[in-house]
Amino acid sequence: MTSTAAPGSNAGTKGVARADREAQIVDVACRVFGESGFAGTSVADIAEAAGISKPLIYNYFGSKEGLYAVCVRYAASTLVDEIERTAQTGEVGLARAVVTLDGMFRVLAPQPWIWRLVFDPTSPPDGEVAEILADHEQRILTFGLEGVAELLRQVGNTDERDTSAMRAVWENVFRTLVTWWLENPDSPEEMTQRCIRLFDSVFGDGTQPLGTVSGSRGA
């Protein structure tokens, strides 16, 4: 994670460059916000977890809301960038769905709190944070529509309203599977295989071996 220092300021505290110190604070704040939610987190909580003073946070980020906006931007960008990466693997249909989920599990495994940060129900409903989330939500919507349209075209369905309805279904399936995994953690590989079994059980007809999809990290 990187952070941009304020113009004209290069020094942090105790010999740490400001940009490095900011990045350290954001890293800790992402975890604290993700675990406790915006409403349940104070600047004092973050300062204590980071081993720094509250004034330093205010000096760097201006306010709790300012720091939260930086954290949300990082978390949302991380998730959307991964979805964009898997969208470029060339997989289509259910295979693309599996690759997308696999990529998400692998990104979230070392930092599960960023998912909760993006979907925090206590997040401010307007202002900079709301704008950041709306922008990234639109990017996710675009990728979702592309994937669903490919899936339906495989069975000869090009109806726009069907595509819209299926996108809503896929969005809920995607979020539910990721949320379930975060609440019932095992390895990304085990969860990906679980998704393959579920998709095979519901949609499989023996003609598409989902268990051999390519494009996922470590595949």
Matching fold, domains 18-66 and 71-208: no
pLDDT at 1: 52
Of 81, 183, 197, 194, residue with least CA distance to 139? 81
Indicate if the alpha-carbon torsion angle 104, 108, 112, 118 is positive or negative.
negative
Q: Is 31 helix (H, G, I), strand (E, B) or coil?
A: helix
Beta bridge partners of 125: none
Architecture of domain 18-66: Orthogonal Bundle (1.10)
Please, what is the Cα angle at 175 between 114 and 149, to 5 degrees?
120
**What are the sequence ranges of the domains in the chain?**
18-66, 71-208
Pick the CATH number of 71-208 from 1.10.357.10, 3.30.70.1350, 1.10.287.610, 1.25.40.10: 1.10.357.10
pLDDT at 210: 52
Please, what is the Cα angle at 109 between 108 and 115, to 5 degrees?
30
- Local confidence pLDDT in tens for the 219 residues of the chain: 544 333 333 334 566 788 899 999 999 999 999 999 999 999 999 999 999 999 999 999 999 999 999 999 999 999 999 999 998 988 888 899 999 999 999 999 999 999 999 999 999 999 999 999 999 988 888 888 898 998 899 889 999 999 999 999 999 999 999 999 999 999 999 999 999 999 998 887 544 445 455 445 544
